[in-house]
């Protein structure tokens, strides 16, 4: 019996994508071996690799100006690899600070250049409960790029209108909300996303990079760290994480099969609105700390009247077949992650549980 999985990441994956993997785990398409036992230079694997790129290109509407790359090391490695490629000790980059991941990205950039805070919504207690408004941005037109985190898993905030940054290249960590809805990729010079929330297993990072921006990358860094190395070799310069890319392919194929990002957005909006409505109709019991306009549709955070009640909530939900509801260790409370593999039905089950919980414990 599968549980309802609200994990923040690694997160639940669409069951059809996993079933497909199970079906052919020891014998991929009659080749007599698992896809993970195929050479990454063979035609069987390459077809999967290229299909993953092609599916992502189709789903996101990636223009010809941009290229898809597969990297490793998680978004955390990108925090360092992006400034390694695009900064020098004299160059600065602007950071829009919206949470822990923005902070980590800024910290790693210090080793290569001059990161600068162009906006922050941090509060006295070091938390963040909203994203900045356009008028709050103090952008440097000479910055090498502007870095943002489109969705903040820990604090449950999300940018619903992407910032205007003039002619400066916009770099976005979309690890926790890529593919939640259609976006205009052309607004971004560099998009990166660890796969383990909306795309696949951990251990693979998807990058969508503007080729002109990429061309500005340093050539004075190791070949393995240059984005151009991946671009020139279709992400096959060295052995990629083939099975992880195969699983991403399965998830992307599933997304296409259910109607693409237009359909996912409908479901995701319904999921988020259903859950926030449940919180808002019990304001004396459930408290959502995030400013309404910044509420995330991917990670919904809220508090109960006491930590003891929060623990009971998590424990009783688990008994009812729902897991992954405990808030991040640094934030506490409840966190419900509503990535693409979570269905509208799953959220309705949770909401019934929440309504019932107020009745019995409120």
Q: Tell me the per-residue interface mask from 225 to 244 with a second copy, x by CB under 8 A, - otherwise.
A: x-----------xxxxxxxx
Identify whether the C-beta of residue 94 lies closer than 8 Å to the C-beta of residue 139. yes
Place of tokens 């089950």: 349
Interacting stretch for a second copy, rule CB under 8 A, among 114-122, 184-192, 223-231, 352-360? 223-231
Q: Tell me the per-residue interface mask from 1 to 20 with a second copy, x by CB under 8 A, - otherwise.
A: xxx-x-xxxxxxx-x--xx-
Other Cβ atoms less than 10 A from the Cβ of 36: the count is 14
Sign for the CA dihedral angle at 88, 231, 248, 203 comes to negative
Instruction: Please identify which of the residues 94, 177, 180, 197 carries the catalytic annotation.
Output: 197
Choosing from 132, 156, 201, 327, the residue that interacts with a second copy (CB under 8 A) is 201
User: 101 an active-site residue?
Assistant: yes
User: 173 an active-site residue?
Assistant: yes
Selection from 12, 52, 16, 56 nearest residue 341 by Cα: 12
**Burial class of 30 by CB neighbour count within 10 A (0 to 12, 13 to 18, 19+):** exposed
Q: Which is nearer to a second copy, 71 or 119 (CB)?
A: 71
Identify whether the C-beta of residue 111 lies closer than 8 Å to the C-beta of residue 81. no
Q: Which is nearer to a second copy, 10 or 260 (CB)?
A: 10
Answer yes or no whether residue 333 interacts with a second copy by CB under 8 A.
no
User: 319 an active-site residue?
Assistant: no
Interacting stretch for a second copy, rule CB under 8 A, among 23-31, 57-65, 124-132, 266-274? 23-31
Identify whether the C-beta of residue 197 lies closer than 8 Å to the C-beta of residue 175. yes
Residues 6+ apart with CB under 8 A from 174: 150, 151, 191, 192, 193
Query: What is the SS3 assignment for 247?
Result: helix
Answer yes or no whether residue 108 interacts with a second copy by CB under 8 A.
yes
Identify whether the C-beta of residue 322 lies closer than 8 Å to the C-beta of residue 4. yes
**In this structure, what token pair is assigned to residue 247?**
């699983």
Q: Which is nearer to a second copy, 256 or 328 (CB)?
A: 328
Q: Which is nearer to a second copy, 163 or 241 (CB)?
A: 241
Identify whether the C-beta of residue 69 lies closer than 8 Å to the C-beta of residue 245. no
Answer yes or no whether residue 21 interacts with a second copy by CB under 8 A.
yes
Identify whether the C-beta of residue 46 lies closer than 8 Å to the C-beta of residue 34. no
Q: Smallest gap, in angstroms, from Cβ of residue 204 to a second copy?
A: 7
Other Cβ atoms less than 10 A from the Cβ of 123: the count is 10
Q: Smallest gap, in angstroms, from Cβ of residue 163 to a second copy?
A: 25
Identify whether the C-beta of residue 33 lies closer than 8 Å to the C-beta of residue 246. no
Answer yes or no whether residue 47 interacts with a second copy by CB under 8 A.
no
Instruction: Please identify which of the residues 94, 159, 173, 326 carries the catalytic annotation.
Output: 173
Q: Tell me the per-residue interface mask from 64 to 83 with a second copy, x by CB under 8 A, - otherwise.
A: --------xxxxxx-xx---
Residues 6+ apart with CB under 8 A from 129: 121, 123, 155, 157, 289, 290, 291, 294
Beta bridge partners of 207: 69, 192
Identify whether the C-beta of residue 238 lies closer than 8 Å to the C-beta of residue 40. no
Q: Smallest gap, in angstroms, from Cβ of residue 332 to a second copy?
A: 15
Choosing from 117, 221, 314, 358, the residue that interacts with a second copy (CB under 8 A) is 221
Q: Which is nearer to a second copy, 278 or 331 (CB)?
A: 331
Check whether 238 is labelled as a binding-site residue.
Answer: yes
Q: How far apart are CA 292 and CA 286, in angstroms?
A: 14
Q: Smallest gap, in angstroms, from Cβ of residue 32 to a second copy?
A: 3
Q: Smallest gap, in angstroms, from Cβ of residue 78 to a second copy?
A: 9
Answer yes or no whether residue 250 interacts with a second copy by CB under 8 A.
no
Q: Which residues are catalytic?
A: 101, 173, 197
Residues that bind a second copy (CB under 8 A): 1-3, 5, 7-13, 15, 18-19, 21-22, 25-27, 31-34, 36-41, 72-77, 79-80, 84, 107-108, 111, 194, 196, 201-204, 220-225, 237-244, 247, 321, 323-324, 329
């Amino acid at each position: 019996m599968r549980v309802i999985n609200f994990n923040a990441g690694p997160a639940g994956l669409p069951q059809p994508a996993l079933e497909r993997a199970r079906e052919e785990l020891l014998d991929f398409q009659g080749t007599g071996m698992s896809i993970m036992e195929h050479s990454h230079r063979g035609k069987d694997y390459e077809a999967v690799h290229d299909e993953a790129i092609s599916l992502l290109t189709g789903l996101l509407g990636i223009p010809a100006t941009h290229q898809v790359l597969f990297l490793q090391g998680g978004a955390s490695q990108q925090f360092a690899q992006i400034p390694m490629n695009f900064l020098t000790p004299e160059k600065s980059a602007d950071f829009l600070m919206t949470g822990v991941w923005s902070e980590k990205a800024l910290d790693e950039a210090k080793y290569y250049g001059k990161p600068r805070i162009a906006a922050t919504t941090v509060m006295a207690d070091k938390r963040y409960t909203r994203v900045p408004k356009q008028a709050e941005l103090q952008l440097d037109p000479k910055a090498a790029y502007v870095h943002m985190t489109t969705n903040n898993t820990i604090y449950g905030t999300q940018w619903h209108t992407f910032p205007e940054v003039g002619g400066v290249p916009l770099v976005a960590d979309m690890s926790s909300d890529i593919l939640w809805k259609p976006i205009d990729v052309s607004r971004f010079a560099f998009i990166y996303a660890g796969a383990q929330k909306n795309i696949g297993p951990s251990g693979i990072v998807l990058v969508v990079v503007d080729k002109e921006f990429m061309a500005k990358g340093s050539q004075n860094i190791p070949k393995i760290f240059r984005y151009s190395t991946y671009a020139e070799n279709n992400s096959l310069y060295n052995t990629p994480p083939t099975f992880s890319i195969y699983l991403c392919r399965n998830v992307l194929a599933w997304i296409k099969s259910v109607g693409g990002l237009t359909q996912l957005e409908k479901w995701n909006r319904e999921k988020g609105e259903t859950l926030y409505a449940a919180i808002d109709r019990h304001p004396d019991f459930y408290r959502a700390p995030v400013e309404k306009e910044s509420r995330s549709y991917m990670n919904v955070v809220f508090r109960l009247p006491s930590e003891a009640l929060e623990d009971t909530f998590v424990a009783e939900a688990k008994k009812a077949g729902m897991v992954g509801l405990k808030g991040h260790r640094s934030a506490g409370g409840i966190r419900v992650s509503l990535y693409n593999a979570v269905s509208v039905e799953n959220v309705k089950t949770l909401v019934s549980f929440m309504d019932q919980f107020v009745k019995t414990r409120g």
